[in-house]
Chains A and B, each alone.
Chain A
Amino acid sequence: MIKWIGRQLSAGGVSLILLLLLIALVIFGPLIAPYSPTESAGVPLSRPSGAHLFGTDTLGRDVLSRILLGGQLLLIMSLASTVLTYLIAIPIGMIAAVNKGVVDDILMRGVDVLIALPAMLVLLVVLSAAGSGIPIIIIGTAIVRIPLVSRVTRAATLEVFSSEYVESALTRGERIWSIFIREVMPNIKEAVFSTVGLSFTAAVLIMSSLNFLGVGLQPPSPDWGIMISENRSIFEMNPYAVLVPTLLLAILTVSISGTWDSFERRSGAKRTKTPVVPKVRASAR
């Protein structure tokens, strides 16, 4: 029986189930939270009990309620920053690929500078100086992933742009944006979007780190990163206040990349199936 379940569940399937559970928790958590996440609800530092399933923290806030609310902003902000990364990086990569010469040099050297600087350090400086507004956190986190995504886009575009179907479009005098959308995008999207899983995971990790380090979201907002940071000094008294948020963060990142990987593999397998000799290919896999 256990073997049977094991066979039915691939790594991708398990990741997907975990991810869906976490998303459900983030969406419905606030509705079922028993107490306010920011106000004292009982005796500080109480151990888990019927009233407080995961106990309370130094200020007497209910740990369970804070956990239930702590993923929401993180997930929304990571998503926004990932979308932003691609919105900026794809045009940069495509423009650099097509304008070999000065434009390419300027864009790609800029990207090189971003790669060379330690991302975390820069973010710390920027956020300390500019303040920890939510838009700034999102933009800052988005910029960290731009170098990689724009490089992947540039490489894929270069390859597609040297193809004869793009040349054919050039001889028709098509506008460059029309070529990007009709000829290039459909043929580079697999390469570019294969990085989405990693980018999203990275955004989650960077944001939680910023929150943990105290330059991201500010207390008393409930957030897993902040909770780990606040409660590590009371680990002996209430370990759940640290362990549960840590575990949830770990599950979130692993399940995002696991789900995306298997999604990629599936669509990849569909693509490589050639109709001419399908059986040979199918058995070769």
Chain B
Amino acid sequence: MTAARTVALSLDDITVTTRSGDSIVQNVSIDIPAGSIVGIVGESGAGKSTVALSTLGYEQAGTAISSGRMHLGDREVTFPAKAFVSDIRGKRIAYVPQEPAVSLNPSTRVAASLISMRRLHGMDADISYIRQILRSVHLPSDPGFLRRYPHQLSGGQQQRLCLALGLACEPEVLVLDEITTGLDVVTQEAILDEVRRLATERQIGVIYITHDLAVVAELADRLVVMYAGEIVESGPTSEVIRRPAHPYTKALIEAAPSHRRPSRVRPLDGIVPAIDARPSGCFFAPRCPLATEICRTEHPELGDLSDKHSVRCFHTEKVEPVLEPQLRETGILVEDPKVLLAIDELTASHKTKNGRLTVAESISLQITEGECVALVGESGSGKTTIARSIIGLHTFDSGTVSLGGEPINPAVRSRTRDQRRRMQFIFQNPRGSLNPKQTIQEIVTRPLTQLRGLGRVDAEREFFSLLDEVRLPTSTAGKLPRELSGGERQRIGIARALAAQPDLLICDEVTSSLDVSVQAAVLELLRELGRDRGLGMLFITHDLGVVASIAHEVLVLLKGRICERGSVSDVLSKPSHDYTKSLLFSAPSLQRAADRIGILKGDEDEDRTRTI
């Protein structure tokens, strides 16, 4: 590390409250040195974005930055600030939001958006300077590109343009809010490289907000871990990753799936408490394995472990080093497994303006009892179309789908009730897949009566045993989907699929909208269900870590074709196709970050360190 840097931005004791007086974020203090990257990590509801927006003095509807101070160079702002000065927002501190596709004005051309950004802040908008900004984020700067509209750019280019807009006024601080969420891993890697380079070259202080620990582990110089609106741990990335001092940080690291080798994830039970339901003691106490009486009654303060590392925990000395990932069984546990699903030469296409576009070509695969086959690919690789073709929601062009040896009709409508029962689909988005007007009991009971023909009494008994199986309390029965958290909703999605007593589950990106700790719990649940019920599973995902924690067999999809297939250990450790290699290389990894740090730092603190 270099010598003491100038601090670009310092947040001091920031508290953001709702009008009713509950605090969303409390007493957050962060220093962002010039030229370095500070990562803010936390799950949904942690208050990360609220902190990010408070650096701009921006208050979301119904909230207010009620106290705190902010230093930006020589400038000091005390909250509540009457009018946040516009020469700071967008000019000295720039914000890059999460979704480039919606944050760019669809009717403004590339050059025009950059020019108006500079003019807005009273700066000259010379075209040669615009070109230079575009080049600095590795975008083309030819006149043709300058005249493009956002929809004519790829996802990665849109995000680069957002970065360029952030840089347009030469800010001292750049606030990046989940900017790579939704991008594929190769593009993500490129954007992260860009961020790293810009921070060093331009001596900008960067706040990088994400839910993905692996991303910041490889990127940030310092990590700030937030939970339920406050900082629970903050310190140099190497220290936080290698020997977390807070049980939550440790749990986050252990819950993150690793794509290095097939291993189990360790779920963290419970959910982040709602803003108005935070416990009186330590906010993490209800989920903490180390919690004692004092944790439930007193609220811990943020204490210093060293001059750089601080933690908010009474029992930090009891926090064990991060556990080695537990390797898992990669063989199929069912004896003499029968083939459940066989797909032969399946080809599917979509109708477009210029005829049909083939999105999946010559796909063949087999799934046996107790086997989980993962179909890996990026957005646009055709993986969802394949899944929908199998379940019968998309009519494929050619090929056969056989269930238990018999070919089945492409259209779900023309299949028999038993065929529909034996194959169940779990949807990506648990919010959209549950009818918002039906209670949980209505939702889960429907397949029981519809596909299995159970009577009312039997269906009710079966419903409660299903709730138990997906580990939800019986009080869930009368609730509406919106009253549940994302993880709970996805469990309902699973329960609805299990209600049919299927042989085969088709899971389409089922964990992609969930927090890491919740994702771990859902993955473990599915893995156990597959094992105990001997279910065959087709697992569709873009996340290699998820693959490593559940799959037996992996198929890698590139532009609608299978480019590599093999057992999970072979594909992860000895990839043969270049595309698989690039996927594995680009995917951010906690382990790689830890190893890299290990190489950099040598063995100076051997005593508490273990490889993760």
Q: Chain A: residues with CB nearer than 8 A to chain B?
A: 163-165, 167-174, 182-183, 186-187, 274-284
Contacts and interface: CB of A to CB of B under 8 A. Distances in A.
Given A171-B392, A172-B447, A280 B18 contact: yes
Contact of A279 (B18, B413, B417): B18
B436 interface: yes
Nearest to A276: B274
B418 to A, nearest CB: 10
Given A171-B425, A173-B413, A279 B432 contact: no
B147 interface: no
Contact of B275 (A172, A183, A280): A280
A53 to B, nearest CB: 52
B215 to A, nearest CB: 26
Given A168-B427, A173-B451, A280-B275, 13 more contacts: A167-B433, A170-B413, A171-B391, A171-B392, A173-B413, A173-B417, A183-B435, A187-B436, A276-B274, A277-B276, A279-B275, A283-B18, A284-B62
B306 interface: no
8 contacts: A167-B427, A169-B446, A170-B413, A172-B420, A172-B500, A183-B435, A278-B276, A279-B20
Contacts of A274: 482
Contacts of B63: 280
B59 to A, nearest CB: 11
B375 interface: no
Given A165-B435, A274-B482, A173 B420 contact: yes
A238 to B, nearest CB: 55
Could you tell me the dominant secondary structure of chain A's interface residues?
A: helix
Interface in B417-444: 417, 420, 424-425, 427-429, 432-438
A172 B18 contact: no
Given A165-B432, A280-B18, A170 B62 contact: no
Contact of A164 (B18, B19, B20, B427): B427
Contacts of B427: 164, 167-168
B345 interface: no
B107 interface: no
Interface string B382-395: 00000000011100
A169 to B, nearest CB: 8
A170 B451 CA distance: 12
B483 interface: yes
Nearest to B479: A275
A280 B451 CA distance: 42
Contacts of B447: 172
A182 B449 CA distance: 14
A247 B251 CA distance: 72
A171 B435 contact: no
A182 to B, nearest CB: 8
Interface residues of B, number: 40
B450 interface: yes
Contacts of A173: 412-413, 415, 417, 420, 450-451
Nearest to A279: B20
A167 B393 contact: yes
Contacts of B24: 280
Contacts of A276: 274, 482, 485
A275 B483 contact: yes
A174 B412 CA distance: 10
Contacts of A281: 62
A231 to B, nearest CB: 51
Given A165-B434, A277-B274, A171 B393 contact: yes
Nearest to B19: A283
B61 interface: yes
A275 B451 CA distance: 33
Contacts of B62: 280-284
B487 to A, nearest CB: 13
Nearest to B428: A164
A283 B427 CA distance: 34
B436 A171 contact: no
A170 B433 CA distance: 12
B22 interface: yes
Contacts of A186: 435, 437-438
A174 B417 CA distance: 10
A174 B450 contact: yes
Contacts of B415: 173
A284 B413 CA distance: 46
A169 B427 CA distance: 12
A170 B393 CA distance: 8
A279 B437 contact: no
Given A187-B435, A280-B18, A280-B63, A172 B276 contact: no
Contacts of B435: 165, 182-183, 186-187
A280 B274 CA distance: 11
B429 A164 contact: yes
